[in-house]
Chains A and B, each alone.
Chain A
Amino acid sequence: MKCVARQLASSVVCGLLFWAGGVAAQGPVCSEADAEALQWLARTVKSRSEVAYQGVVTLQRGDDMQVVQVARSLADGYSSEHLTRLTGQGAQVVRPHHPLNCTHPGEQLLTLGDRVEAGDCGLARYYRFEVGPGERIAGRQSVKLEIQPRDMYRYGFLLELDQDTALMLRASTLGRGGKILERFQFADLSYDEPLEPRSGMDTVHPAAHPHPDDPTAGARLSVPWIVSWLPNGFTATDAADPEGPRRTYTDGLAVFSVFLEQLPRELRPGEGLARLGSSLSYTRGMHLADQPVLVTVIGEVPVNTARMVADSIRVAR
């Protein structure tokens, strides 16, 4: 893994991004609650390299509930994680051997706790935070972060973190009017040495590890394209191949991906929408450089974000 060098490089990139954003902002807006919440979020990210655990998590989306087992272990500067579906499909996702010093752009956006005093409010420019005592979850006392978006381009969240370890015990995604779109929470949690991944699963998927600075090799289109508009605060998760079919963006809490397909024939222009919990699939038939294309935005963002992003796709010049 070359992630150490990579990480340095991408820190520089991110630093520039933050600096540019800081110029645009109209002075610091962070309240005490914002600063406290940002520190909690930074601790949550840090806990990834400090806390080993295993537990059972429920994921609720509307009437649908899934149960998964998750575990993380730490050794010799690496973490190993796995997620095993206990309901429905017999599938497992594993991420063995991830360097602890490898942080991705989304994590970097969340680890701004120590910069707040310097007037950089980071995420507090896009979200309003409240911090308060949370409930007991999976037998652990929690701290509750209420997170309200400051614009229409992202959802709100209710995050409850372990008071001692900052591990995220429960996360609810809130749509308009505080409606819960998705909620995951630990039903059972222990900080003992984690289980080995279960054997005998039908499907075992090793999670990909895209480098922030390395375009992923894969299919290429004949037209280089750009997304010319993003909601404030969103940044690319990895360097985009200008002719690659995918882009992914994050503001640290929300993530969405844009996929472009070139169609061999004309498709009637139009748009379609499918939702599953907080996840959205927005598909749009349109033209790019006089060629018919299908744009799909997948992610945990409201539909107006997806529509405006799709609307902003242009040929790269």
Chain B
Amino acid sequence: MTEQLRESLSALMDDEATELELHRVLGELESDAALRQTWVRYQLARSAMGGQPVSHARLDISRSVSAAIAAEAGAETSRSSLRERWVRPLASLAVAASVTAVVVLGGQQLYQAGSLEGQSAPVAASGVSAVGFVNSLGAVPMRASYGAQAVPQLEPAARTAYRELARQRMYQYMQEHAEHAALNSPQGLIPFARVPQIEE
């Protein structure tokens, strides 16, 4: 797997890939097992961020994505030129959105199947006080009474929780990061000005 492909893959995750990158990645996904593996890891990481779990066990990322793009492209060519001028930006967005949707779904198929690197089915975040965001998960301790239902219900909450976690960690770690940035970047002590709350 080349650096460039990994770049494109990551860009695709952030909806920042160009169509060229998109087609390259899709072409490679068919034949490159390492790339597929990386893709799946990214998707695992992202799976808490939305979408609903799917029960099909089969993973067919590239084919469904290609189909989604073909459908979008077909829709686009049939438009009149005036309309196209107005619709094109929206259409590109739609392509990006549908690709992401299909791909995320693909990742979750694997996730639900629990077949990657021996990871078990998703664990409802129960009593995660160690990382300090129990409250933002809302009704977390539902695992006993809700059983398997708990996971889908946690989706939006987990997404919010992870965002909150990232924010908390920025507060927690920014000063330690600044200690090193101040000695290893050309702005002198300025990295400390980025610290939300300077501690003694």
By a CB distance below 8 angstroms, the chain A residues around B16 are 176
Q: Which B residues from 35 to 84 make CB contacts under 8 A with A?
A: 38, 41-42, 44-49
Q: How far is the CA of A41 from the CA of B186 in the complex (A)?
A: 8
By a CB distance below 8 angstroms, the chain A residues around B130 are 263-265
Q: Chain A nearest CB: distance from B188 CB in Å?
A: 6
Q: Chain B nearest CB: distance from A247 CB in Å?
A: 10
Please, what's the 1-or-0 string for B127-142, where 1 marks a CB less than 8 Å from any CB in chain A? 1101100000000000
By a CB distance below 8 angstroms, the chain B residues around A81 are 188-189
Q: Chain A nearest CB: distance from B190 CB in Å?
A: 6
Q: Which A residues from 205 to 227 make CB contacts under 8 A with B?
A: 205, 207-210
By a CB distance below 8 angstroms, the chain B residues around A294 are 131, 165
The answer, yes or no, to whether A59 is at the interface (CB within 8 Å) is yes
Assuming the contacts A89-B197, A207-B189, A298-B170, asked whether A269 and B47 have C-beta atoms less than 8 A apart, the reply is yes
Q: How far is the CA of A82 from the CA of B192 in the complex (A)?
A: 10
Q: How far is the CA of A250 from the CA of B161 in the complex (A)?
A: 30
Interface centre among A48, A205, A256 (most CB of B within 10 A): A205
Q: Are A152 and B200 in contact (CB under 8 A)?
A: no
The answer, yes or no, to whether A241 is at the interface (CB within 8 Å) is no
Q: How far is the CA of A238 from the CA of B176 in the complex (A)?
A: 13
Assuming the contacts A48-B188, A168-B187, asked whether A268 and B199 have C-beta atoms less than 8 A apart, the reply is no
By a CB distance below 8 angstroms, the chain A residues around B192 are 83, 93, 205, 207
Query: Which one, B13, B118, B158, B166, contacts A283 given CB within 8 A?
Result: B166
By a CB distance below 8 angstroms, the chain A residues around B127 are 265
The answer, yes or no, to whether A122 is at the interface (CB within 8 Å) is no
Query: Which one, B117, B174, B190, B197, contacts A83 given CB within 8 A?
Result: B190
What's the dominant secondary structure at chain A's contact region?
strand
Q: How far is the CA of A269 from the CA of B111 in the complex (A)?
A: 10
The answer, yes or no, to whether B113 is at the interface (CB within 8 Å) is no
Q: How far is the CA of A168 from the CA of B186 in the complex (A)?
A: 8
Q: How far is the CA of A193 from the CA of B16 in the complex (A)?
A: 49
Assuming the contacts A106-B184, A257-B180, asked whether A307 and B42 have C-beta atoms less than 8 A apart, the reply is yes
By a CB distance below 8 angstroms, the chain A residues around B42 are 307, 311
Q: Are B45 and A304 in contact (CB under 8 A)?
A: no
Q: How far is the CA of A125 from the CA of B184 in the complex (A)?
A: 19
Q: Are B163 and A311 in contact (CB under 8 A)?
A: no
The answer, yes or no, to whether A274 is at the interface (CB within 8 Å) is yes
Query: Which one, B7, B162, B176, B189, contacts A95 given CB within 8 A?
Result: B189
The answer, yes or no, to whether B198 is at the interface (CB within 8 Å) is yes
Q: Are B198 and A271 in contact (CB under 8 A)?
A: no
The answer, yes or no, to whether B88 is at the interface (CB within 8 Å) is no
The answer, yes or no, to whether A243 is at the interface (CB within 8 Å) is no
Q: Are A270 and B189 in contact (CB under 8 A)?
A: no
Q: Are A208 and B119 in contact (CB under 8 A)?
A: no
The answer, yes or no, to whether A52 is at the interface (CB within 8 Å) is no
Query: Which one, B38, B176, B197, contacts A257 given CB within 8 A?
Result: B176
Give A276's nearest chain B residue, CB to CB.
B170
By a CB distance below 8 angstroms, the chain A residues around B6 are 308
By a CB distance below 8 angstroms, the chain A residues around B197 are 89, 91
Q: Are B185 and A57 in contact (CB under 8 A)?
A: no
Assuming the contacts A248-B184, A264-B130, asked whether A68 and B193 have C-beta atoms less than 8 A apart, the reply is yes
Interface centre among B14, B166, B183 (most CB of A within 10 A): B183
By a CB distance below 8 angstroms, the chain B residues around A271 are 45-46, 48-49, 162
**Residue positions of A touching B, CB distance < 8 A:** 41, 44-45, 48, 57, 59, 61, 66, 68, 70, 72, 81-83, 85, 89, 91-93, 95, 104-107, 110, 151-153, 159, 168, 171, 176, 184, 203-205, 207-210, 237-238, 246, 248, 250, 252-257, 259, 261, 263-274, 276-277, 279, 281-287, 290, 294, 296, 298-300, 303-304, 307-308, 310-311
Nearest 5 interchain pairs by C-beta? A270-B48, A106-B184, A272-B162, A304-B10, A281-B170
Can you list 14 A-B pairs, Cβ within 8 angstroms, ordered by A?
A104-B183, A152-B10, A207-B192, A250-B185, A255-B180, A265-B126, A271-B162, A272-B166, A276-B170, A284-B45, A298-B177, A304-B14, A308-B10, A311-B42
